[in-house]
């Protein structure tokens, strides 16, 4: 069977990995650039790896993925088990449900009530907890080098005979349809590529490729910043855990080997609505990747305040080495979408990362292909269905905090 996978991010690569494992598929992956694609949400200095979920389905999947991160040859060299510190106010339901799920699965976690509780595990911890904060540490969690992971999987797929087509020849402009079938795609190079099965793994660009206005997916941009540390600071903070604060949405990583400190906000983000066609408006990222983005003032101020509370005033006031707007593909309930489109029998939609897809990289394809072939039970098929009529608004999964998503014009901030 000829398969066209549109998108070389974690959803497309993981699906190709599973199909390759099963055999019998002639796979071509299309994308604007050679993976790791510079502006994809799958690629950056690091990504959080955790099974810490309030939803037991993702908690179980996360534990399964952790085995891959620790043992699978494509993933194990890119995982760093720093541990993760989850903090929040006294009434943080997401944090407490995550702790309870892990406890039910027999995963040991250490409750945190005071600053000294943290320092007993991480002696160089700098800041003091706010009076109403508490949390826990899961020392099995950590972070992964996202860019190197994508390179590892891509190289393996090439060795297995998967074809990658990038640049104008791999940039999909539109789906070519006949009745209830997608017969192929048209690229920026004005080429037609056909296949028996089309997998739409295009992340935040998905809505722009679908023929009609849709309300299933929403592309939102999240602010990310980087600060260069001195060598002394890098050594001081190198054994920090990943931090995830459910009061502010702030999260940060231990510094990289070259002393780059990355931090971001897991919030409701920024939308970017554009006119795509007549009677069709969608929130989509800029089409052309940019090297750096000046963050909206609200986002920069909030990030600096959070950096100050964790790393001190001096580091928080330092110029950002780099900033970006990382686009998530949100679904209303933060569930993935692994399903055939309701109008096209051979268009499999594989997206909806909602800011938490990368950590499942080692097993994501198992579940997407399991839905594609209808091998999984109804629980999963219903959870990841394209159509969910009961969803009327974007409630997400309870992990987002901060201001609600609002519109902004990225052309005001982009630096080519």
> Could you give the CA distance from residue 11 to residue 24 in angstroms, rounded to a whole number?
20
pLDDT at 415: 34
| pLDDT of res. 131 | 82
DSSP string, 225-291: EEEEPPHHHHHHHTTPPEEEETTT-EEE----TT-EEEEEE-SS-EE-EEEEETTEEEE---SS--S
CB 41 within 8 A of CB 9: yes
The whole-number pLDDT of residue 40 equals 85
pLDDT at 130: 84
Spatial CA neighbour of 403 closest among 235, 283, 301, 267? 267
Enumerate domains of the chain plus CATH numbers.
2-412 (3.50.50.60)
| Tens digit of pLDDT at every position of the chain (416 positions) | 999 999 999 999 999 999 999 999 999 999 999 999 888 888 887 999 999 999 999 999 999 999 999 999 999 999 999 999 999 998 899 999 999 999 999 999 999 999 999 999 999 998 889 888 999 999 999 999 999 999 999 999 999 999 999 999 999 999 999 999 999 999 999 999 999 999 999 999 998 899 887 888 999 999 999 999 999 999 999 999 999 999 999 999 999 999 999 999 998 888 888 888 777 888 888 876 655 678 889 899 999 999 999 999 999 999 999 999 999 999 999 999 999 999 999 999 999 999 999 999 999 999 999 999 999 999 999 999 999 876 667 778 889 887 666 555 544 443 32
Query: Do 307 and 300 meet the contact criterion of CB atoms below 8 Å apart?
Result: no
pLDDT at 411: 46
Q: Are 204 and 219 in contact (CB under 8 A)?
A: yes
Task: Give the DSSP per-residue string, 129-181.
Answer: PPTTEEEEEETT-EEE-HHHHHHHHHHHHHHTT-EEE-GGGT-EEEEEEETTE
Q: What is the pTM of this model?
A: 0.94
Q: Quick check: 44 and 146 in contact, CB under 8 A?
A: yes
Cis peptide before 361, with omega less than 30 degrees from 0? no
Q: What is residue 391's predicted lDDT score, i.e. its pLDDT?
A: 65
State the Rg of the chain over Cα: 21
**What's residue 292's pLDDT?**
63
Residues 6+ positions from 373 with CB-CB distance below 8 Å: none
Among 80, 128, 166, which Cα is nearest to 309's? 128
Query: Are 14 and 156 in contact, with CB atoms under 8 Å apart?
Result: no
CB 135 within 8 A of CB 88: yes
Residue 412, pLDDT score = 40
Q: Is 179 exposed, middle or buried (0-12, 13-18, 19+ CB in 10 A)?
A: exposed
Q: Which two tokens stand for residue 98?
A: 């995550």
> For residue 281, what pLDDT is reported?
85
């Amino acid at each position: 069977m000829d398969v066209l996978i549109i998108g070389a991010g974690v959803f497309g690569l993981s699906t190709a990995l599973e199909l390759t494992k099963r055999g019998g598929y002639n796979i071509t992956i299309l994308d604007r650039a050679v993976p790791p694609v510079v502006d994809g949400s799958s690629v950056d200095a690091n990504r959080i790896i955790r099974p810490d979920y309030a939803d037991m389905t993702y908690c179980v999947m996360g534990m399964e993925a952790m085995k891959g991160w620790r043992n699978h040859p494509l993933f194990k060299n890119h995982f760093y088990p720093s541990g993760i510190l989850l903090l929040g106010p006294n009434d943080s339901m997401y944090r407490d449900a995550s702790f309870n799920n892990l406890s039910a699965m027999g995963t040991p976690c250490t409750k945190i009530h005071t600053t000294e509780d943290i320092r007993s595990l991480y002696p160089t911890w700098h800041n003091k907890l706010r009076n109403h904060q508490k949390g826990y540490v899961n020392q099995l969690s950590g972070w992964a080098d996202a860019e190197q992971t994508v390179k590892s999987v891509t190289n393996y797929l090439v060795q297995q005979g998967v074809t990658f087509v990038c640049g104008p020849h791999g940039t999909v402009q539109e789906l070519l349809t006949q009745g209830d079938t997608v017969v192929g795609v048209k690229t920026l190079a004005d080429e037609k590529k056909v296949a028996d099965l089309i997998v739409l793994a295009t992340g935040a660009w998905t809505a722009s490729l679908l023929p009609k206005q849709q309300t299933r997916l929403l592309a939102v941009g999240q602010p990310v910043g980087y600060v260069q540390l001195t060598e002394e600071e890098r050594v001081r903070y190198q054994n920090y855990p990943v931090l995830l604060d459910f009061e502010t949405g702030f999260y940060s990583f231990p510094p990289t080997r070259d002393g780059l400190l990355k931090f971001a906000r897991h919030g409701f983000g920024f939308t970017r609505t554009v006119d795509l066609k007549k009677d069709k408006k969608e929130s989509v990222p800029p089409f052309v990747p940019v090297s750096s983005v000046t963050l909206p003032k609200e986002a920069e101020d909030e990030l600096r305040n959070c950096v100050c509370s964790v790393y001190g005033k001096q580091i928080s006031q330092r110029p950002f080495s780099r900033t970006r707007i990382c686009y998530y593909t949100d679904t209303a309930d933060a569930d993935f979408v692994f399903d055939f489109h309701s109008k096209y029998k051979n268009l499999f939609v594989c997206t909806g990362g909602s800011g938490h897809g990368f950590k499942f990289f080692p097993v994501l394809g198992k579940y997407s292909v399991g839905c594609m072939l209808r091998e999984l039970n109804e629980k999963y098929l219903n959870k990841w269905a394209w159509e969910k009529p009961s969803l009327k608004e974007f409630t997400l999964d309870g992990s987002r905090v901060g201001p609600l998503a609002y519109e902004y014009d990225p052309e005001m901030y982009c630096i080519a």
